[in-house]
A and B are shown apart, each in its own frame.
Chain A
Amino acid sequence: MTAPANRKRRKLLAAAASTVAAAPGLRLMEWAAAQSDAQPVTAATRWGLLIDTDKCAVDCDACVRACNDEHGLTGTGRPETDAQWIRKVTLTDEHSGRVTSLPVLCQHCEQPPCVDVCPTGASFRREDGVVLVDKHTCIGCRYCVIACPYQARSFVHENLTAQKPYSPRGKGTVEGCTLCVHRIDEERAPACVEVCNSGGGDDCGNGALLFGDLNDPQSAIARRLKSAPSRQLRADLDLNTGVRYENL
């Protein structure tokens, strides 16, 4: 079974599940039979993100706001301990003075140092390349925060109450960009990508973010990576990041 077909079926199951929730008992039998087909994600897909820094505007932080909204990351007025899954930075070349703007987030490495160092295996890499924290087994040692070369992880420093159902997070555990797996599993693009590619309103709609399957040679991201130069952050570490940058 090919990955897209697999994915489609899982999507349909999600829809079926919501029907059942609305009318439990009605279609339980068919649904129970169908769900035995649900397959876990496989390495046939590798999700990736290509960021064109030329299109990323210095004064735009729509991706950061979209992420905060999506995952319920609210500030407490203590920025040093607040969650920061994606952040905008401005770079000025020390010699030429060239200014670049770009978002930094979990780079979803193929060889993630956070996964290597995690004593309990809570930090893990999903088969489709998304690096996540299983908060059920995270003991809050923060070694992954130390080991991440991108400062992409946050530790939840205080009690939380208004979490989103699809994005559980809690005090004493470490978290980071999930590449919006809850959306990916439903065939939707991550929140930051969606907002960056939507025009009008407050959101800049610069179209700087391109999301897709790195393993599918026909995907827009794979074709773009093949045709134009791009780079990884800390390429010297040879982590094979899932997030790539253009014009950096």
Chain B
Amino acid sequence: MPAHFHQLKITAPEYRAALAVLLALAALGYAAAHYMDAGGHHITGMNNRVVWGIPHVFALALILAASGALNVASLSSVFGLDEYQPLAGLSALLAIVLLVGGLLVLVLDLGRPDRLIVALTHYNFKSVFAWNILLYTGFIALAVGYLYVLVEPGARRAGRVRAAGMLSLLWRLVLTSGSGAIFGFVVARPMYHAAVMAPLFIALSLALGGAAFQLVAAALARWHGDYLDESVLARQARLLAWFVAAVLLLTAIFHLTHGYAAERRAVERFILMRGGVYTALFWAQAGLGGALPLALLLAPAPGVRRLCAAAALVVLGGFAHLYVIIIGGQAFPLPIFPGKTVTGGFYDGEVAAYAPSLPEFLLGLGGVAAALLLLLAALRVLPFMPPPRRARQRG
């Protein structure tokens, strides 16, 4: 086993408190899923017009963050930045658990979670969703393979670490494009049908995952012993700034192209001006989750505190952004009859109402908790913790 990886050692009481909270949240999430499954989805805020709700926002956020959490591994193994090498294992582990957490939420929200096996035995190759099933399982397999070569003696010299890192980098770019395509390929909805969804989701994943890694790494550093070098922190800040800027740019392109086309102006007016909670969340994510963290990150000498504050804002902003895309896109009425005012029917022509209920929120939160619990458990038994700085200086 290479000397630069450790197992997680518990030294701080906050760690036990965090463990207890995570366990409670995961249990609540599981109970909520059971409650939803037994009673049916009518106990949630979801309905026949907003069929994907807050569980899907949590799931997508976790899946995108999973892909982005691998940034650090890519920096170390593909782009050859040696100061990231001790963090590479943690990065890949975090990626795996976040994806598992996201899939857990997605699966437990299904109408028939007991038929999960059907999703594996009946496969429609034309479905973007089905492609994503392959992309997710492939991602987990590649990340596990990457972790293996990280601790395999001689793998680095033989170039296997770089190969595994490169493969997972390419795979996650395709994966996040695939997540974007879940929406981008939907011809029916003016909010969704756009090629820019793919790069937007890539950028969102890089920002969300980078920020999530920063927060997790900083928390673990407090409990385990500090291992984050100044140079790593400075580079993290610069990188995160780039990713946030990319999200802002692609968001601007997205809404400008939409706003330019007469047929999509109505939905743009809805999201940007008259959409109530969606409008509020849109501008909040652009300002508080975009511009503000960008300023915090670009200001000189960002310490670990400022970096973490910015990362937290990016995570919240990304979540709000996904809420606007996923739920706002369903809330806006389908344009079946352009040029006509529609009344009657099934709330035709009206903006769909959606307010998340407690169980579905707990299900989503439970997915996050389950991911972090898995991470802590894995770090206790697998040697992927970066060693504290003092130990490294001594060694």
The answer to the question of B41 belonging to the interface, with a C-beta cut-off of 8 Å to chain A, is: yes
- Cβ contact of B340, chosen from A93, A113, A149, A150, cutoff 8 A: A93
Contacts of A156 in B (CB 8 A): 40, 111
User: For the complex, is B115 an interface residue (Cβ under 8 Å from A)?
Assistant: yes
A142 to B192: give the CA distance in the assembly, Å.
16
A181 at the B interface (CB under 8 A): no
Q: In the complex, which residues of chain B have a beta carbon less than 8 angstroms from the beta carbon of A140?
A: 110-112, 115
**13 more CB-based (< 8 A) A-B contacts, given A117-B185, A150-B336, A158-B39:** A82-B48, A84-B346, A87-B346, A91-B341, A93-B341, A118-B124, A119-B127, A138-B112, A139-B113, A141-B111, A145-B48, A173-B111, A237-B188
B119 interface residue, CB < 8 Å from A? yes
B42 on the A face (CB < 8 A): yes
Stretch at the interface among A40-48, A73-81, A183-191: A73-81
User: Are A139 and B48 interface neighbours, CB within 8 A?
Assistant: no
Q: Is A223 an interface residue (CB 8 A)?
A: no
Query: Which positions 239-262 of chain B face chain A at CB distance < 8 Å?
Result: none
Is the interface on chain A under 10, 10 to 19, 20 to 34, or 35 or more residues?
A: 35 or more
> B residues within 8 A CB of A119?
119, 123-124, 127, 129-130, 133
The reply to whether the CB of B18 lies closer than 8 angstroms to some CB of chain A is no
**B342 lies within 8 A of chain A by Cβ:** yes
CA distance A81 to B174 in the complex (A): 35
B116 within 8 A of A: yes
Q: Does B52 contact A (CB under 8 A)?
A: yes
Contact A120–B40 (Cβ < 8 Å): no
- B126 at the A interface (CB under 8 A): yes
The residue on B at minimum CB distance from A120 is B122
User: A55: shortest Cβ distance to chain B, in Å?
Assistant: 17
On chain B, the residues within 8 Å of A153 by CB distance are: 48
Beta-carbon contact of A120 and B124 below 8 Å: yes
B304-361 interface with A by 8 A CB criterion: 330, 334-337, 339-348, 353
| B47 is an interface residue with CB less than 8 A from chain A | yes
Bound CA span A153–B130, Å: 20
CB < 8 Å neighbour of B111 from A84, A148, A174: A174
B residues 47-90 near A (Cβ < 8 Å) are 47-49, 51-52
Query: Does A81 contact B47, Cβ atoms closer than 8 Å?
Result: yes
Interface residues of B in 118-172 (CB under 8 A from A): 118-119, 122-124, 126-130, 133
Q: How far is the CA of A12 from the CA of B32 in the complex (A)?
A: 51
Residues of the A chain whose Cβ atoms lie less than 8 Å from the Cβ of B224:
none
Interface residues in B6-51 (C-beta closer than 8 Å to A): 37, 39-42, 47-49, 51
List A residues 134-148 near B (Cβ within 8 Å). 137-143, 145-148
- CB <8 Å contact, B130 and A87: no
User: Is B111 a contact partner of A89 (Cβ separation < 8 A)?
Assistant: no
Query: With A119-B124, A158-B42, A171-B111 in contact, is A80–B347 under 8 Å at CB?
Result: yes
B174 CB to closest chain A CB (Å) equals 17
Q: A178 contacts the other chain (Cβ, under 8 Å)?
A: no
Q: Which residues of B contact A19 (CB under 8 A)?
A: none
